[in-house]
Amino acid sequence: MNLGEVLHNARISAGLSLDDLASMTSVRAGLLGEMEKNNFSHCGGDIYARGHLRNIAPKIGLEPSQLVEMYNAEHSAESRSINEMLVENNVARVPHEKKRMSWKVPAMASLVIILVLAVVQIVISNVNSSTSSKPTATASESAAPAPTASPSNAANTSTSPKSSSSSSASSSPSPSEAASNTTAAATNGVKMTIAAARGSSQIDIVVDGQHVDKGSIFQGESKSFEAKTSIAIYFSNPAGLDVTVNGKLLPPLGGQNQEVRRTFR
């Protein structure tokens, strides 16, 4: 039985829910759930994890030292075997004699480099020679005769400003069409999707000035909101969440266990 299972069984035996234990220890219910799944990656390091365990132990009828010893054995990065410490101090490391590089290796490498350079030089010379052998066009051949304007073309030219002005006038939207387009753009509002892809978080969502959701979003959950004017958010762990606004996935809004407040309009 691992440490997470011990925590879970002890809490159930004590008749406490995750929310009850969270209110008694000031540890988030989402983090308590992860600890019971034997996941201590979001505790903030070994020191904070041990502090949470010492805080939780008396509430569920366990000895703090017992939980800390299990944590050190299963999760602590500080606990290492004696053999690893001996290897680090060069005591148990098997000595290996350094092999001397043969002179043939650099000699072969130099030969290959010389051959490659020679091939490149030959290719460049062939390209330059083929380019120089192409005939160049004379100035008289390249110069094209200027077209002469006929009377009919002149007439068409004189009437073109009127036609262009009429076409531009017909293509510009009327005031009523512009107003309808503005109204349609304003009614689109704000659409937001929050997905707990990499961890859990506390959230507080305010849509158009009204609180619509306040509590926890656990890893794997996804919630969507839609507003006419604005959506205000609060996250306690923005690094674990993916936020999409109006179909666009935003970059992370903050770091792990960092409190963030934002408003989108």
pLDDT tier at 99, thresholds 50, 70, 90: low
Do the Cβ atoms of 227 and 196 come closer than 8 Å? no
Please report the pLDDT score of residue 106 as a whole number: 86
Please report the pLDDT score of residue 150 as a whole number: 46
Please report the pLDDT score of residue 180 as a whole number: 45
Question: Would you say residue 65 has pLDDT above 50?
Answer: yes
Of 148 and 130, the one with more pLDDT: 130
Question: Would you say residue 263 has pLDDT above 50?
Answer: yes
Do the Cβ atoms of 7 and 71 come closer than 8 Å? no
Question: Would you say residue 250 has pLDDT above 80?
Answer: yes
Question: Would you say residue 52 has pLDDT above 90?
Answer: yes
Distance from chain centroid for Cα 108: 46
What 3-state DSSP class applies to 97?
coil
Predicted model pTM: 0.32
**Token digits of residue 107:** 């000699």
At 167, the amino acid letter reads S
Do the Cβ atoms of 33 and 200 come closer than 8 Å? yes
Cα 178 from Cα 185, distance rounded (Å): 11
Please report the pLDDT score of residue 79 as a whole number: 53
pLDDT tier at 164, thresholds 50, 70, 90: very low
Cα-based distances in Å from 232 to 81, 210, 213, 254, 262 = 50, 9, 11, 15, 6
Cα-based distances in Å from 237 to 88, 194, 209 = 37, 12, 23
Instruction: Tell me which architecture the domain covering 3-74 has in CATH.
Output: Orthogonal Bundle (1.10)
pLDDT tier at 100, thresholds 50, 70, 90: low
